[in-house]
Amino acid sequence: MDSALLLQLTLNGLIVGALYGVVAMSFVLIYKASQVVNFAQGEFLLVGAWVCWWLLTDWQLPFWLGFLVTLAFMTAFGMILQVVVLRPLIGEPVISVIMATIGLGIFFQALMKWIFGVFAKPFPPIFHAEQVSVLGLQVQSVYLLSLGISLLIMLGFAWFFTLSKHGLAMRATAFDQQVAQSLGISVPRVFAMSWAISAMVSALAGVVVGVVNGVSSALSFYGIKVFPAVILGGLDSVVGAVLGGLIVGLLENWAQYLDANWLNWGNMYGVAPFYALILILLIKPYGLFGTKNIERV
């Protein structure tokens, strides 16, 4: 037993898990508000990270400014995507909408490779101290930033959904679009807003991961990792998404520990969440916090 390593891995799990949670939340946001399963969620991270990288390297903007410009750009990006691509698909079969989002994912994946190349590129250094010591553990300062940002976003979501006018409208729309309309809520605007916020928040996560690992198409893999997280938490639960994200993050790291010490099967880090995904679908298909669809006949 190597308890220091286990502790370090647990901490990594929490930090990465919080990021998964953030991306999962923005995935759930779109699903809840507009009932679209967005397979292009990972590409939001990718586009956001590349845009930020471009602003910081080619335009030499300071980090905070480039970051803010990126967020503003991604807000507009999400909104335009919804209005141009997904709004015409309202009322079409679910499978068509899913195909459209898969198409979007492939398109942006390729576009980014075309513009920025296929190799991972590092962000210019942001912090003077690469690592700081927390409770005797070496933690990259970027990871601390990432944890802080994740927590801020989660608090922001909580505020948005419980206290703001638009959050309330969004919950109402998620529940029943007809009724929401009869109460004076603009459903198209709610849809556009959910995509805008989702893209913006995902980009935030994308930039953080990019700063840690460099920007490359591997970023879009977060979009796939989101699935175990949201299935675990329940597709339509924001709280569930956060918890699901954290659990997936921990699971990955503990699986790796288990694997490295005893099993030696290899690559458990990448695979474990998907074993969990299958298990959950077998045992508790609505997830921990999801709404059960009870059909009374």
For another protein, which is the closer residue by CB, 83 or 98?
83
Residue 180 C-beta: closest distance to another protein, Å? 7
Q: Is 182 in the site for another protein (CB under 8 A)?
A: yes
Residue 193 C-beta: closest distance to another protein, Å? 8
Tokens encoding 193: 């807003």
Q: How far is CA 159 from the centre of its chain?
A: 19
Output DSSP code: residue 60: -
Answer yes or no: are the C-beta atoms of 21 and 241 closer than 8 Å.
yes
Using left for φ > 0, alpha for ψ between -120 and 50, and beta otherwise, residue 292 falls in beta
The interface region with another protein, picked from 161-169, 223-231, 251-259, 274-282 by CB under 8 A, is: 161-169
Contacts of 257 (CB under 8 A, 6+ apart): 5, 6, 9
Q: Is 113 in the site for another protein (CB under 8 A)?
A: no
Q: Is 87 in the site for another protein (CB under 8 A)?
A: no
Q: Among 147, 180, 241, 247, which residue sits at the site for another protein (rule: CB under 8 A)?
A: 180
Q: Among 95, 115, 118, 165, which residue sits at the site for another protein (rule: CB under 8 A)?
A: 165
Q: Is 296 in the site for another protein (CB under 8 A)?
A: no
Question: Phi, psi (5° rounding) for residue 134?
Answer: -120, 115
Q: Which of residues 184-243 bind another protein (CB under 8 A)?
A: 184-187
Q: Is 176 in the site for another protein (CB under 8 A)?
A: yes
Answer yes or no: are the C-beta atoms of 230 and 244 closer than 8 Å.
yes
Q: For residue 210, give the nearest of 91, 95, 44, 73 by alpha carbon.
A: 44
Q: Is 181 in the site for another protein (CB under 8 A)?
A: yes
Q: Is 60 in the site for another protein (CB under 8 A)?
A: no
DSSP bridge partners of 155: none
Q: What is the pattern of x (binds another protein, CB under 8 A) and - over residues 1-30? A: ------------------------------
Answer yes or no: are the C-beta atoms of 202 and 48 closer than 8 Å.
yes
Q: Among 59, 62, 88, 164, which residue sits at the site for another protein (rule: CB under 8 A)?
A: 164
Q: Is 151 in the site for another protein (CB under 8 A)?
A: no
Alpha helices (H) in the chain, listed in sequence order: 3-34, 41-57, 63-81, 94-116, 141-163, 165-175, 177-182, 187-213, 221-233, 238-258, 268-283
Residue 107 C-beta: closest distance to another protein, Å? 29
Residue 279 C-beta: closest distance to another protein, Å? 27
Residue 187 C-beta: closest distance to another protein, Å? 7
Q: Is 138 in the site for another protein (CB under 8 A)?
A: no
Rg (CA), the chain: 19
Give the residues lining the site for another protein (CB under 8 A): 162-166, 168-169, 171-172, 175-176, 178-187
